[in-house]
Structure 1
Amino acid sequence: MRLKSLFTISLFLLIFTLINQSVVLDAFAQNFFINKIGMKFVLIPAGAFIMGSPDSEKGRQKDEKQHRVVITKSFYMSETEVTQGQWDRLVSPNPSSFKLGNYYPMDTVSWYDAIEFIRFLNKREGSRKYRLPTEAEWEYACRAGSQTAFATGDVTTFSCKEPEAALIDHAWYCFNSGGFSPAGNFKPHPVKLLKPNKWGLYDMHGNVQEWVQDACEWRTIWSAGTGTITRTYVDNITDPLETKGGHRVVRGGGWFQNSKYQRCAYRTNYKPVARRNSLGFRIVRER
């Protein structure tokens, strides 16, 4: 009887251990992280990709030269833009032009405002791991393994009066964000209403444009080039980050723009003090 009891106890402990290991493995397999204020982050794996756009891509700009980039470290990226509810938990006042509720993305924030939010978050978490994504990390995460104009397909139209098949279920842009509705309610929308990309990130196309970490030079046609100018668009570059320049790079299209500006490779820039009702941000957390 004693041997039978010992066997029963041992079997119970083994089953208990396996169940707990399974729970741990399942949690790990989900590849996400939730911080103290409830922000969810998705694990983005290290890897290499082709950044920029091919000459044949509709809407391509001169500052989108294709080149191979290596991302050597995996990182966590917030699954959505920073929302007004998340902002209000750390920073006051809320500068958004569209104060519509906790689940709407922040807008009308400068690059410095984004850095201030990150400073408060790092202090709250006792961390130095939160920051803006680099431009390369942003495009890598946006593409989620794709090489098409959007993570979900290629460009078919720049019209705001007819749907872009690759965007309609994934992005708030000029066609579906209210500009052509009878009510004319043209604005950003709550996060996570549309489908995410293959890596679980929402609104990488559309809703609000997003500040990234990189600096850049801005040049006109009269000053040797046009567009967003950095030293990072060269082949086989590793973990690029531009630190030179008086402007800051902005990625992703806004709720009022057509599909040309929603492309993965599209890049623009503003002065870091700029505030626009289409400008927000998302953040990353280093592992």
Structure 2
Amino acid sequence: MGNNPSVFQGDKADGDSSKRPVDSVSWADANRFVAKLNQLEGTKAYRLPSEFEWEYACRAGGPGQEAWLYIMEQGVIGAGGFGAPLSIYPRPPGAAAPPPPAPADANAPRQKITTKPVGTKKPNAWGLYDMLGNTWEWTADSYNEKIFADPKPTNGGKEHVLKGGGFAADVKNAICATHAGGPADGWDVGFRVVKDVG
């Protein structure tokens, strides 16, 4: 707490950067933030979520793959440059086709590929915003390519699990089940905290 490591501030972001998620957060910095928050609140209730908890929250308790419409309504992902349009990816069986993209205005200024203000897209069924896209999010788990969504955080390892895909990620990463690992200091990475109750 006390400094904002975000790359996307000032002239590197369109509009008010105070409404954007903090990016460029290392796993160690995320844990220092949690420790400081616990100290300020006089508790030990705050922490990073496990991968299992993060995915459960992303799905809002529901099962299965996300429909493309859900991803389009809720995911803040790149649509050019680093990202790709949804139309090039196969849809899950029975999923509705995404609507065609709006025609580009040749006179419109080119939008920077950056994070977007929090809450730009619709929340999920539990009211959680930006679970897909905007920034990848740290979890408490160490990364193991063979273990997906372990209910208890795994320890050890140099990489930690990242969830949600980021604004510059390929659209195929903007699903709740994406299981990625990253070094300790990704530039397109943020985090969210959970609070133990009861």
Decide: shared fold, TM above 0.5: yes
TM-superposition CA deviations, 1:116-156 (whole Å, max 9, x none): 11111111100101000000000111111333322xx1x5x
Amino acid at match of 1:175: A
Aligned to 2:73: 169
Give the 5 Å matches for 1:21-60: none
Amino acid at match of 2:153: L
Does 1:250 find its partner at 2:157? Answer: no
Structure 2 residue runs of 5 or longer lacking an equivalent are: 10-15, 84-103
- The alpha-carbon deviation at position 177 of structure 1 amounts to 10
Aligned to 1:266: 178
Mapped to 1, the partners of 2:33 and 2:6 lie a distance apart of: 14
RMSD (Å) for aligned C-alpha atoms: 2.4
Mapped to 1, the partners of 2:153 and 2:186 lie a distance apart of: 23
**1:258–1:271: structure 2 CA closer, same or farther, 3 Å change rule?**
closer
Is the CA contact (8 Å cut-off) linking 1:178 and 1:185 kept in structure 2? no
Give the 5 Å matches for 1:54-203: 91-99=1-9, 100-150=16-66, 153=67, 155=68, 165-175=69-79, 182-203=109-130
Bigger relative contact order, structure 1 or 2, given CA contacts below 8 A and separation 6+? 2
Corresponding residue SS for 1:167: helix
Aligned to 2:143: 216
Identity of aligned residues (%): 36
Amino acid at match of 1:214: D
More strand by proportion, 1 or 2?
A: 1
Report how many aligned residue pairs link the two structures.
168
Mapped to 2, the partners of 1:167 and 1:270 lie a distance apart of: 23
Amino acid at match of 1:96: S
Mapped to 1, the partners of 2:166 and 2:59 lie a distance apart of: 17
- The alpha-carbon deviation at position 182 of structure 1 amounts to 4.2
Mapped to 1, the partners of 2:143 and 2:80 lie a distance apart of: 32
Is the CA contact (8 Å cut-off) linking 1:212 and 1:281 kept in structure 2? yes
The structure with the largest alpha-carbon Rg is 1
Mapped to 2, the partners of 1:246 and 1:189 lie a distance apart of: 29
TM-score, normalised to structure 1, is 0.54
Does 1:240 find its partner at 2:143? Answer: no
TM-superposition CA deviations, 1:53-83 (whole Å, max 9, x none): xxxxxxxxxxxxxxxxxxxxxxxxxxxxxxx
Is the CA contact (8 Å cut-off) linking 2:82 and 2:170 kept in structure 1? no
Does 1:275 find its partner at 2:186? Answer: yes
Is the CA contact (8 Å cut-off) linking 1:177 and 1:188 kept in structure 2? no
Mapped to 1, the partners of 2:47 and 2:37 lie a distance apart of: 10
- The alpha-carbon deviation at position 242 of structure 1 amounts to 0.8
- The alpha-carbon deviation at position 215 of structure 1 amounts to 0.9
Mapped to 2, the partners of 1:174 and 1:250 lie a distance apart of: 18
Corresponding residue SS for 1:166: helix
Structure 1 residue runs of 5 or longer lacking an equivalent are: 1-90, 156-164, 218-227
TM-score, normalised to structure 2, is 0.76
Aligned to 1:205: 132
Mapped to 1, the partners of 2:3 and 2:126 lie a distance apart of: 33
